[in-house]
Amino acid sequence: MPILSLPDAETLYAELVKKIRADSDKHFALVGIHTGGAWLAERLYQELHTPESHGPAEQLGMLSVSFHRDDFDRIGLHALKKSSDISFPVDGAHILLVDDVLQSGRTIRAAINELFDYGRPASISLAILVDRGGRELPVCAQYVGMALELPKEKILVFNRDNQGKFYLSMEDKKSAAPSDQDTAK
């Protein structure tokens, strides 16, 4: 049965960090998917990168999937889309791709396509705050804060307040504003 109350996003974030740190012998470049995944990647980088030891997170980049979406011909490009910013060599890099909510897998497919525009990574792993199921493509995250079952008519919205604190909310699919589509899944 789908849950009707949402967990605390900060608690899920702490769980995600713990799971990534458990693999601390691996070194990777963090790449966040705009918008929610970029917020997560920025915070993960702050926690996992230490200048003296170089920590497991060695680089930070941001990715826009706007041009690689498979529904681009139907929805077009939104005016507020952010551009990708990958300032390190992707060729041969181990990438930890970060997003807020995993559902169909289509955003992740688009992100991987965009990454390959920058080069051929040695590997790509996936970190997700919330896995809500409903896969349409064969995509699986290696690091998951929590798996949640939500009613199909609901959208999970990941947000950040003015102090940088994360929180989750739920909306009806029909009431989600077009500008919310980046963080609503």
Domain segments of the chain as ranges: 9-68+86-153
Residues 111-139 pLDDT 10s: 999 999 999 999 999 999 999 999 999 99
Question: φ and ψ at 154, to 5 degrees?
Answer: -110, 150
Q: Please give the pLDDT value at position 165.
A: 97
DSSP character at residue 11:
H
- For residue 70, the model assigns a pLDDT of 55
What fold characterizes domain 9-68+86-153? Rossmann fold (3.40.50)
* pLDDT for residue 146 is more than 90: yes
Grade residue 48 by pLDDT with cuts at 50, 70 and 90: confident
Q: CB of 153 within 8 A of CB of 173?
A: yes
CB proximity list for 5: less than 8 A, separation 6 or greater: none
Above 70 in pLDDT, residue 78?
A: no
Which residues, at least 6 apart from 107, have a Cβ–Cβ distance to it below 8 Å?
A: 33, 65, 69, 99, 185
Which of 19-23, 63-67, 128-132 shows the highest mean pLDDT? Answer: 128-132
